[in-house]
Amino acid sequence: MNRNEFLKNFGFGTVALIAGESLLSSCMGGMDMGESVAPIVSDGEFINALRIPETISGTSTLIAQSVQDELLTGKRVGVQSYRNGILGPTFRVQKGSIVNIAFQNKMAEHSNVHWHGLVVPANMDGHPERMIMPNESFNFQFPINQQAGISWYHPHIHKLTGKQVMQGLAGLFIVESPEEKALNLPSGNYEIPLIIQDKRLNTDGSIKYNPTMMEVMSGYMGETVLVNGTTKPYLNVATRFYRFRVLNGSSARIYNLAMSNKTDFYVIGSDGGILPQPEKVKNLMLSSGERTDILIDFSTMKIGEQVYLTSETFSTMGTSQGADSFKIIDFIVKNQESDTFKMPTSLIPVAKITGSTKTRTFALTGDMMNMNGGMHKINGKVYDGNRIDETVSLGATETWEFDNSTGDEAHPMHIHGVEFQVVSRSGGRNVIFPQEKGWKDTVLVAPKEKVQVIMKFRQQGKFVFHCHNLEHGDDGMMLNFEVK
Ligand code: C2O
Ligand code: CU
Ligand code: CU
């Protein structure tokens, strides 16, 4: 939502804009409106070798702490972290195993860990009400009962989620399986995580998270795009296929991924699983919280050539998104290598969920009259930790419809405790996209769209569902449901 739309929605007609402006500032008590969208800084050489988070097993220690890191060369600053520098390690865990993660909070503020995409018992899910206070620890123990896919983890403290994720608390959690291994996808040095985030950096190189009123509405967008915590990243590649595990770990920014040379790439997985077959695409829209598993073929390139993964402009997500096109990472072809990988024609079948016994609809709205937070609502409600908004029977299969037909902002809607499949999208873009043809837990609901998802509830207890634009979520665009 841009400034003019804000003013209109706040109840001022276009003619009254000037008068509205001063009235608005007075009723907001001098609060800084700020600007909603800053242009991306994406000029200059991509000079920093991509950082690769270390890989750890499901039996590990995870420590949230404040550490020093260098996001801009030569400028050491404080960040929040699950390891030595920004972000966290990548878990690699086998389907069917039991994880045992000793978490310690060594930060000065409360936190917790949500395993986004993993279907875990409610008391392990990092519900916003379950806080882990400074100097406390918590043992996360749960079985991995789901197919191979890309999950991730991050704090989930109501009103602090955006800040803690932006300050550096996030990491990947990869589930592997024998079925997936049998596909012989590129692995080892040819399988690379890409955690894409935008941040606002102060001139001293520190992260600035201080959303204005406008940014609570549009979502917080930074001018610097980082991959795995690396600014201006490059990766040396060989002339062969690579597999990239891509997470949009940004607060609000939606990326329209494309190769700078306009070549095709292949989507092989959605958030939580491998697709039935590879899908060849030129563009892929990824909203905050979503993951995609992609293959890129560098085999026809020559030594010394380079190609960027970029984000192209788009106009389908409201006025606060998609204005910029920019580079994300530079791939530089360094080695000639022969590649034995052949693109399979089919991957892993995804059994369609059927037999829905109930449909629930959720109206997504932005209400600009409430200046003290709670501007974004689901079914007219703002998050209340003590209220159960929906009650679901354990084992039930249901269809949930997210209705953004009156909205003018994009909402990536995420449901905890389940994996869903996208059934339909009507209005707006009107299609189910390649990266949505498998297991999902977060789905982008653009302005004018109604999106239906189907899922089976197999975990008992209290969970949340919310918009994964983290400012919208922290603003209260989140409800509780209880499975019993
Ligand atoms: Cu990734 Cu409830 O969040
Ligand atoms: Cu989640
Ligand atoms: Cu939203």
Ion ligand 3 contact residues with beta carbon within 5 A: 411, 467, 469, 472
Which residue(s) pair with 103 in the sheet?
A: 62, 138
CB 244 within 8 A of CB 149: no
Lowest mean pLDDT among 27-41, 229-243, 410-424, 442-456: 27-41
156 lines ligand 1 (CB under 6 A): yes
Which ligand 1 atom is the nearest neighbour of the CA of 466?
A: 2
Nearest protein CA to atom 1 of ligand 1, as residue: 116
Distance CA 356, CA 363 (A): 20
In the numeric block, the tokens 């009723």 are attached to: 27
Residue 32 has a pLDDT of: 42
Distance CA 474, CA 469 (A): 9
Nearest protein CA to atom 3 of ligand 1, as residue: 116
Residue 38 has a pLDDT of: 63
What sections of 156-205 are H helices per DSSP? 161-166, 178-181
- The stretch 131-150 carries a mean pLDDT of 98
199 lines ligand 1 (CB under 6 A): no
Distance CA 425, CA 422 (A): 8
In the numeric block, the tokens 């009156």 are attached to: 406
CA of 83 to the centre of ligand 2 (A): 21
Nearest Cα neighbor of 190 from 240, 122, 136 is 240
CA of 415 to the centre of ligand 2 (A): 6
Which residue(s) pair with 358 in the sheet?
A: 398
CA of 320 to the centre of ligand 1 (A): 22
Which ligand 1 atom is the nearest neighbour of the CA of 478?
A: 2
437 lines ligand 1 (CB under 6 A): no
158 lines ligand 1 (CB under 6 A): no
pLDDT above 80: residue 15: no
pLDDT tier at 43, thresholds 50, 70, 90: low
What is the domain partition of the chain in residue ranges? Answer: 1-31, 358-483
pLDDT above 80: residue 288: yes
% pLDDT > 90, the chain: 86
Distance CA 9, CA 1 (A): 9
Residues 146, 250, 435, CA angle at the centre, nearest 5°?
45
* Ligand nearest, relative to CA of residue 115: 2
Q: Which helix (H) or strand (E) element contains residue 6?
A: helix 3-9
- The stretch 237-260 carries a mean pLDDT of 98
83 lines ligand 1 (CB under 6 A): no
* Ligand nearest, relative to CA of residue 365: 3
Which ligand 1 atom is the nearest neighbour of the CA of 116?
A: 1
Nearest Cα neighbor of 252 from 338, 131, 166 is 166
pTM score over 0.85: yes
Nearest Cα neighbor of 441 from 288, 243, 256, 280 is 288
* Ligand nearest, relative to CA of residue 444: 3
What percentage of the chain's residues is helix, strand, coil (to nearest 5)?
Answer: 10, 40, 50
Residue 8 has a pLDDT of: 44
114 lines ligand 1 (CB under 6 A): yes
User: From its phi and psi, is residue 373 left (phi > 0), alpha (psi between -120 and 50) or beta?
Assistant: left
Which ligand 1 atom is the nearest neighbour of the CA of 117?
A: 1
* Ligand nearest, relative to CA of residue 119: 2
Residue 274 has a pLDDT of: 98
- The stretch 281-306 carries a mean pLDDT of 97
Distance CA 2, CA 75 (A): 33
Residue 355's Cβ-count burial label (10 Å; 0-12, 13-18, 19+) is exposed
Residue 33 has a pLDDT of: 44
416 lines ligand 1 (CB under 6 A): yes
Is the model more confident about 375 or about 117? 117
Residue 374 has a pLDDT of: 82
pLDDT above 80: residue 370: no
Residues 108, 111, 114, CA angle at the centre, nearest 5°?
160
The alpha carbon of residue 21 and the mean position of all alpha carbons in its chain are separated, in whole angstroms, by: 34
CB 317 within 8 A of CB 445: no
pLDDT in tens, 83-105: 889 999 999 999 999 999 999 99
Q: What is the CATH number of domain 358-483?
A: 2.60.40.420
Residue 42 has a pLDDT of: 63
- Torsion 290-295-297-298 (CA) sign: positive
- The stretch 316-329 carries a mean pLDDT of 93
Residue 371 has a pLDDT of: 67
Both tokens of 279, joined, read 């899908």
